[in-house]
A and B are shown apart, each in its own frame.
Chain A
Amino acid sequence: MSLARLWAIMRKELIQVRRDRITLALVVGVPVMELLMFGYALNAVTDHIATVVFDESSTASSRAFAQSFHNTDYFTIVRWTPSREDAMRAIDAGEAKVALIIPANFGDQVLGGRPATAQLIVDGSDPSVAQTAMFSGGLISQVQSGAVTVEALNRLGQSSNSRGGIDLRPVVLYNPRMLSVKFMVPALIGLVLQMQGVLLTALAVVRERERGTLEQLIVSPVKSGELMLGKILPNIVLCLFSTVMTLVIARVLFNVPVVGSTVELLLLTLPFLFGTLGIGLAISVVARNQAQALQMTMFTLLPSILLSGFLYAREGMPLIFQWISLAIPMTYYLQILRGVILKGVGIEVLWPQTLALTVFAVVVMGVSVTRFRKTIE
C-alpha cells in the first residue's frame, strides 16, 4: 500500500467530483430535493380542516364546545350532521377530514361537573392533516373544558367546585401509524444516503471503464486495494457531508432535530456506509456502462424502500418478508436513524443493529473486493 498512490487517486477523485455536475447534483441536489419534496408533501400547510359535527347532546355546552373548534383557524365546520353514520360518510366521501362526535350525555356530564367525553374521528390518509387535527383538537378541548364547564355552571347559578373537564378521544382512520414528517424525515436521510453511496461508487469505477482510463490504471503499478480505497474514502466524506446537510434541513425546515447525539449518529452511520459502498463496488464489477449502473442502483433501492420499514411497518408484513428484511441493511439503519433522531437513544440500545450492519459491511466488502481484484488483475 503506497500512500502516495492512494493520495494521488483520492485527490483526482475529489477534483473530478468538484467538476462533475452530475455527481455534484447527486451529492447536494438530490438530498435537498428529495427532502423538500417528501417533506413538504407531508407537511402541507394544514388549517381550516373541513369538519363535520354530530351533536347528539344538542345542548348549549355541546354547541359551545363545537363552536370553539370553528373559532380557531385549524377547523372549519362545514356541516352539522343528523347521525353518526352521516358523519362517517362525510369522511369517506372526502367532504370532511374530521368528524367531531358529541355524545348525548355530554351536556349532563358537564353540568353535573363530571368528565365529559367527545370523540374526534380523523382521516389519517393525510398524515399532516391528521396530526394537526389531533394536536389542535386536544389543545382546544383542554382549554375549553374549563371554560365550557364554568360557563354552564354559572348559568345555573352554581359555583364551580367540581373537577369535571372534557376528554377528547381521537380515533385515526386509514393511517393509524400516522406516518408523519417526524417519522419520514429520518427514513429519507437513509434513502438518500444509500442511493448516493451506491451510485457514486459504481459510477466512479464504471466511468473509468467506459473512458478507457481503467485499463491505463491496470497497466500502472496501482494495486487494486489502493484503487478501491482511493475511490471509497472520498465517497465516505461526501456521504457524511450530505448526511449532515440533510440533518440541518430536517432541523431548520421540518423542525425535526436530532434528539440524541449527532456525532454518535454519524459514527453509527459508518458501518451502513461501508456496506452501501460495497454494494456500489459490486455493481461496478458487473455494470458495463453508466446507464446499467444507474439501473442496478435503483434496483437495490426497491427492497430497501418496500421491506425495510421505510413505508410499511415490518410487523405487518408476511413472515417471509420479515425474514428477508433482516438481510437488508436499511432495516437496521432505519432503526438507528429513528432511534437517535426521534428517541434520543444511542449505541447502548442500538448495538444489535450496529453489529448487524458491521457484519453486512464486512461480508459485502469482502466479496466485492475479491471480485473487483479479479476483474482488474
Chain B
Amino acid sequence: MTTDDAPAIEVHGLTKRFGDRIAVNDVTFDVKRGEVFAFLGPNGSGKSTTIRMLCGILAPTEGTGRVLGYDIRTEQEYIKQNIGYMSQRFSLYEDLSVRENLEFYAGIYAVPRASLAARVTELIAMAGLQGREDQLTAHLSGGWKQRLALGCAIVHRPPLLFLDEPTAGVDPVSRREFWTMIHELAANGVTVFATTHYLDEAEHAARVAMIHGGVLTALATPADFKAHYLHGKLFAIRSADTLRTLAMLQQRTDLSDVSLYGDAIHVLMQTGDREDLESALRAAGITGATVEVIAPSLEDVFISLMKRP
C-alpha cells in the first residue's frame, strides 16, 4: 500500500478490553491528511487507550486500523518513525536542559547531524525559549514545558502528530499560544490528532469526535455539532433575583437543561419560543427579566448529548 495518498488515520471497529472492562468499544473513524482532528471526552472515556493503539504500542482486542497507510498491528516500526507523540504528562527529562532534551530526542529519531543544530535552534525559537537553552527543564513553568514537549515531539518533522491532552494543567494564555503553534503546523501540512476534555478546545479542530464510555457518540465539525446535535433552542435569562428564577425554571418539565453561567441562566427548550418563557416568568411574578436566544457552545451540545439515552 502506498502511504502518501492514504488517509492519515483510518480505523474500523477498534476495540480494547482490559479484562472484562471495555476501554474502547467498536470505534470507527478516519482522519484526512492535514486535518486537525479532536477526540473529545471526559476522563476515563478511552482517549489515551485509542491513541496508544494508533501509535502501535497497544494491540487492539478487535478491529483494524491504518496510520499513514501502515497497519497498526503489524507495521508499528514504520508508524513509530513517522509520528510525533506528546503524552498526557509532558515527558521531558527534568534534569536535562532545554537544549539537551531536544538533542536527546533528535538523537533518538536519528535527525542527521548536519541539520541537527539548525533544527534545535529553530525549535527553541518556535517554543519562545531563546535565552533559556541551558536552563534545566525542571525550572520551567507549565507553559514552557508544554511548548518544549511539542518541540521534542516534532524534532524529526513527522507528518502526523498525536497530542494526548496537550493543554492539561496549563494557563489559558499558554493554551491559546499552543493552539496557534498547532495551527501553524497544520498549515504546513501536518495532520494533528489531539485528545482533550476541554470543550472550548475542541473548537480549534476541523472535526470533533465525541467519545463517552469508550463509545464514539458523534463525529462532526464544530459548526455541524451546534447546528444539528442540539435538540431545541438555547436561551439566556437574566433577572434581578437569579436564584428564585432558577428555582422556578427547574420546576418546568419542558426544559431539558437548566444551568447557571455567571449571572445568566441557560435553558434548553425542546419546543416553544421566547414568548412562552417570558409569559411564564411574568406569571411567576418575576419582573424585569430579559430572555434572549443564544448560539450554543460545544459544551452545551456535549452536555445535551451526554444526557440523551
Task: Kindly state whether residue B186 has any CB partner on chain A within 8 Å.
Answer: no
Task: Kindly state whether residue B17 has any CB partner on chain A within 8 Å.
Answer: no
Chain A proximity mask over B92-130: 1 for CB below 8 Å, otherwise 0: 111110001001111111100000000000000000000
- Are B57 and A8 in touch, CB under 8 angstroms? no
Identify the stretch in B81-89, B221-229, B278-286 within 8 Å (CB) of chain A at 4 or more residues: B81-89
- Are A220 and B95 in touch, CB under 8 angstroms? no
Task: Kindly state whether residue B55 has any CB partner on chain A within 8 Å.
Answer: yes
Chain A nearest CB from B48 CB (Å) reads 10
Chain A to chain B contacts (Cβ below 8 Å), 17 pairs: A4-B110, A8-B103, A9-B108, A12-B93, A12-B96, A15-B96, A16-B93, A16-B95, A16-B96, A211-B89, A215-B87, A217-B108, A219-B55, A220-B85, A221-B80, A221-B109, A221-B110
- Are B95 and A20 in touch, CB under 8 angstroms? yes
Chain B nearest CB from A23 CB (Å) reads 10
Task: Kindly state whether residue A163 has any CB partner on chain B within 8 Å.
Answer: no
**Smallest CB gap from A218: residue in B:** B57
Residues from chain B with a CB closer than 8 A to the CB of A20 are 95
Beyond known contacts A5-B110, A9-B108, A16-B96: 15 more, CB 8 A cutoff: A4-B107, A7-B107, A12-B100, A12-B104, A16-B93, A19-B136, A212-B91, A213-B92, A215-B57, A219-B80, A219-B83, A221-B80, A221-B110, A222-B108, A377-B57
Chain B nearest CB from A25 CB (Å) reads 15
**Smallest CB gap from B76: residue in A:** A377
| A219-B55, A219-B85 given; A8·B91 CB < 8 A | no
Task: Kindly state whether residue A371 has any CB partner on chain B within 8 Å.
Answer: no
Bound together, the chains give a CA A7 to CA B100 distance in angstroms of: 13
Bound together, the chains give a CA A12 to CA B104 distance in angstroms of: 7
Residues from chain A with a CB closer than 8 A to the CB of B91 are 211-213, 215-216
Chain B interface residues toward A at CB < 8 A: 55, 57, 77, 80-81, 83, 85, 87-89, 91-96, 100, 103-110, 136
Residues from chain A with a CB closer than 8 A to the CB of B55 are 219
Chain A interface residues toward B at CB < 8 A: 2, 4-5, 7-9, 11-12, 15-16, 19-20, 211-213, 215-222, 377
- Are B57 and A219 in touch, CB under 8 angstroms? yes
Residues from chain B with a CB closer than 8 A to the CB of A19 are 95, 136
Chain A nearest CB from B267 CB (Å) reads 43
**Smallest CB gap from B57: residue in A:** A218
- Are B77 and A221 in touch, CB under 8 angstroms? yes
Bound together, the chains give a CA A377 to CA B89 distance in angstroms of: 20
- Are A221 and B93 in touch, CB under 8 angstroms? no
Residues from chain B with a CB closer than 8 A to the CB of A219 are 55, 57, 80, 83, 85, 87
Residues from chain A with a CB closer than 8 A to the CB of B106 are 8
SS class of chain A's interface: helix, strand, loop or mixed?
A: helix
- Are A220 and B80 in touch, CB under 8 angstroms? yes
Residues from chain B with a CB closer than 8 A to the CB of A8 are 103-104, 106-108
Residues from chain A with a CB closer than 8 A to the CB of B92 are 213
Query: What are the 8 closest A-B residue pairs judged by CB atoms, nearest first?
Result: A8-B107, A216-B91, A219-B85, A213-B91, A212-B89, A221-B80, A19-B95, A221-B81
Quick one: which of B88, B109, B136 contacts A220, CB cutoff 8 A? B109
**Smallest CB gap from B83: residue in A:** A219
B80, B95, B96 — most chain A CB neighbours (10 Å): B95
Bound together, the chains give a CA A222 to CA B57 distance in angstroms of: 12
Residues from chain B with a CB closer than 8 A to the CB of A220 are 80, 85, 105, 108-109
Bound together, the chains give a CA A377 to CA B106 distance in angstroms of: 21
Residues from chain B with a CB closer than 8 A to the CB of A218 are 57
| A4-B107, A221-B81, A221-B108 given; A216·B96 CB < 8 A | no
- Are A2 and B94 in touch, CB under 8 angstroms? no
Residues from chain B with a CB closer than 8 A to the CB of A15 are 95-96, 100
- Are A216 and B87 in touch, CB under 8 angstroms? yes
Bound together, the chains give a CA A39 to CA B199 distance in angstroms of: 65
Chain B nearest CB from A342 CB (Å) reads 41
Bound together, the chains give a CA A7 to CA B57 distance in angstroms of: 24
Residues from chain B with a CB closer than 8 A to the CB of A216 are 85, 87, 91
**Smallest CB gap from A226: residue in B:** B108
Chain B nearest CB from A128 CB (Å) reads 43
Residues from chain B with a CB closer than 8 A to the CB of A9 are 107-108
**Smallest CB gap from A10: residue in B:** B107
Bound together, the chains give a CA A265 to CA B235 distance in angstroms of: 84
Bound together, the chains give a CA A8 to CA B92 distance in angstroms of: 15
Residues from chain B with a CB closer than 8 A to the CB of A12 are 93, 96, 100, 104
Residues from chain A with a CB closer than 8 A to the CB of B136 are 19
